[in-house]
C-alpha cells in the first residue's frame, strides 16, 4: 500500500511540475499558434485548387511548403473543415502518438526489469511532453511524432524479421527527406532486403506523388530541395545542426562550406558506424536512434523539434541504468564494471532530460554570434553538443541477455525459510 502511494505521489509530483512549467506557454503564448499546421493546411488547400504547390506562401508571412509532394497526400486531413477542427484533430492524433511511442519505447524495458508498465509509462509521458523537441512539435503543429512512430514500427519489424521491415522508414523518407539516411543504415548493418523494401517504398510513394502532380514533383526534386534558405536563417539559435553552429560562428552567408562538409562527413562516419555496430549486436533501438541523431546533425537545417531522437536515447540510458549489460562490442574494462556503467547511464539520462526539459539553449540565445564566453557559447549550442556526445557515448546493449539473473539454487537440504 505504501509503495502504491509512493508511486502515485511520484506521478503527481512530476505531473504538477510539468504543468507549472507548461502553463506559461499555454496561457500566455498558445504554443506558436500551430503555425506550421497553418502552412500545411494552406498549402494543401492551395494545391487542391490546382495551383502550383511551391508557389504557396502563408498570408502575411514568407513561409511556404517545404516537404516533398507526397507529404501533401498525408496531410490531406488538415484541409478538411475549419482551422479549429484541424488543430483539434492534429492535437488529438499527436497526443495519441506521444502515448503510443512512449509505450512502445518503455514497455520492453519495464518488462525486462520487472517494473510495472502502467506506472513507468504514466511517469514518463509528462516528462516526454516537457522535452522541447516534443513540446515544440505539438506547439508548431509538426509531423515529427508521426516520423518517430514510423521508425519505432520498423524497429519492431526488424527485431521480428518481418518481410515488410523497412517499409515504414521508406514512407517516412517520402514524407520528409532526411529519414532517407535510414536506407544507408540498413545497408551498412547488412539488411539488404530491408534496405530494398525501404527504397522501394520511398520510390513508390514518390512515383504516386509524381503521377498526381508531375510539375510539382519535378520542381521539388530539381530546385526546391536545394534551396534551404526558404526554411529559415541558418544562424538562428533554433537551428542546432552543424551548419547552424558554423553560421553562428561566422557570417551566416559566408561560412566555410568545405568545413561543414568535412564535419558532416566525420559525424556521419562515426554515427553510422556505431549505428551499424548496434544493429549487428541486436540493439535495433540504439542503431535507429543514432541514425536519427546523425540525420539532424548533418542536415542543412535542424530545428529544435527535429531532435525528438533524444527521447529513445534517454530510454536506452534508463535501460542500462536499470542493469542491462553492454554488448560484447564494448571494451572489456567497461563490461567488467556494470555498477559504474549503470551509474553513468543514470547520470546521462538525467543530464539529457534536464537539458531538453529546461530548454537550456534559450538562456544563451545569441551568445555565439556576439562572441560571448565559452560557457555561454556551449549553452547556446547545447542540443548539438549533447547529440554529438550521444553519438559517441550512447551504450550499445546486449539485448539478448536478461538484465536480472535468477537467484542461484539453494544448497541441498536447506530450509526454504
pLDDT, tens digit (0-9, with 9 covering 90-100), for 69-119: 999 999 999 898 888 999 899 989 999 999 999 999 999 999 999 999 988
Average pLDDT over residues 360-389: 90
308-314-320 Cα angle (round to 5) = 150
Contact 335, 311 (CB under 8 A): no
Q: pLDDT tens for residues 158-191? A: 988 899 999 999 999 999 999 999 999 999 999 9
pTM over 0.95: no
Instruction: Tell me the C-alpha distance between 409 and 63, whole Å.
Output: 67
Contact 202, 180 (CB under 8 A): yes
Q: What are phi and psi of 326, to 5 degrees?
A: -80, 155
Give the CA distances from residue 305 to residues 187, 263, 357, in Å, rounded to whole numbers and listed in that order: 27, 22, 12
Instruction: Tell me the C-alpha distance between 106 and 245, whole Å.
Output: 33
**Across the strands, what pairs with 239?**
303
Kindly tell me if the per-residue pLDDT of 40 is higher than 70.
yes
Instruction: Tell me the C-alpha distance between 228 and 301, whole Å.
Output: 7
Q: CA nearest 25: which of 134, 123, 118?
A: 134
Contact 287, 390 (CB under 8 A): no
Average pLDDT over residues 142-164: 93
pLDDT of residue 196: 97
Helix (H) or strand (E) holding 211, with range, is helix 192-212
280-345-288 Cα angle (round to 5) = 35
Amino acid at each position: 500500500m505504501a509503495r502504491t502511494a509512493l508511486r502515485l505521489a511520484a506521478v503527481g509530483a512530476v505531473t504538477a511540475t510539468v504543468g507549472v512549467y507548461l502553463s506559461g506557454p499555454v496561457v500566455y503564448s498558445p504554443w506558436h499558434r500551430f503555425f506550421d499546421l497553418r502552412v500545411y493546411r494552406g498549402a494543401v488547400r492551395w494545391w487542391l485548387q490546382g495551383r502550383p504547390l511551391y508557389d504557396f506562401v502563408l498570408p502575411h508571412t514568407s513561409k511556404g511548403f517545404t516537404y516533398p509532394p507526397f507529404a501533401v497526400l498525408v496531410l490531406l486531413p488538415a484541409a478538411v473543415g475549419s482551422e479549429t477542427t484541424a488543430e483539434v484533430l492534429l492535437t488529438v492524433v499527436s497526443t495519441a502518438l506521444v502515448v503510443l511511442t512512449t509505450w512502445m519505447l518503455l514497455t520492453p524495458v519495464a518488462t525486462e526489469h520487472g517494473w510495472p508498465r502502467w506506472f513507468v509509462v504514466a511517469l514518463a509521458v509528462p516528462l516526454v511532453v516537457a522535452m522541447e523537441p516534443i513540446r515544440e512539435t505539438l506547439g508548431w503543429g509538426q509531423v515529427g511524432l508521426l516520423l518517430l512512430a514510423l521508425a519505432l514500427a520498423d524497429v519492431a519489424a526488424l527485431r521480428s524479421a518481418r518481410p515488410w521491415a523497412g517499409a515504414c522508414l521508406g514512407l517516412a523518407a517520402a514524407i520528409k527527406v532526411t529519414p532517407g539516411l535510414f536506407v544507408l543504415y540498413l545497408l551498412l548493418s547488412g539488411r539488404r532486403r530491408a534496405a530494398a523494401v525501404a527504397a522501394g517504398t520511398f520510390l513508390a510513394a514518390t512515383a504516386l506523388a509524381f503521377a498526381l502532380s508531375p510539375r510539382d514533383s519535378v520542381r521539388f526534386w530539381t530546385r526546391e530541395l536545394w534551396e534551404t534558405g526558404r526554411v529559415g536563417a541558418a544562424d538562428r539559435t533554433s537551428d542546432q545542426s552543424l551548419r547552424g553552429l558554423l553560421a553562428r560562428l561566422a557570417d551566416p552567408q559566408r561560412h566555410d562550406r568545405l568545413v561543414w562538409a568535412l564535419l558532416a562527413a566525420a559525424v556521419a562516419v562515426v554515427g553510422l558506424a556505431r549505428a551499424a555496430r548496434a544493429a549487428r549486436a541486436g540493439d535495433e533501438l540504439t542503431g535507429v536512434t543514432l541514425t536519427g541523431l546523425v540525420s539532424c546533425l548533418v542536415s542543412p537545417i535542424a530545428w529544435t523539434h527535429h531532435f525528438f531522437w533524444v527521447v529513445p536515447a534517454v530510454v536506452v540510458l534508463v535501460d542500462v541504468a536499470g542493469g542491462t549489460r553492454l554488448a560484447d562490442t564494448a571494451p572489456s574494462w567497461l563490461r567488467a564494471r556494470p555498477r559504474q556503467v549503470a551509474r553513468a547511464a543514470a547520470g546521462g539520462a538525467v543530464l539529457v532530460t534536464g537539458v531538453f526539459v529546461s530548454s537550456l539553449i534559450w538562456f544563451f540565445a545569441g551568445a555565439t554570434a556576439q562572441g560571448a564566453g565559452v560557457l555561454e557559447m556551449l549553452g547556446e549550442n547545447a542540443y548539438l553538443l549533447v547529440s554529438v556526445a550521444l553519438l559517441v557515448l550512447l551504450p550499445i546493449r546486449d539485448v539478448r541477455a536478461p538484465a536480472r539473473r535468477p537467484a542461484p539454487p539453494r544448497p541441498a537440504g536447506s530450509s526454504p525459510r
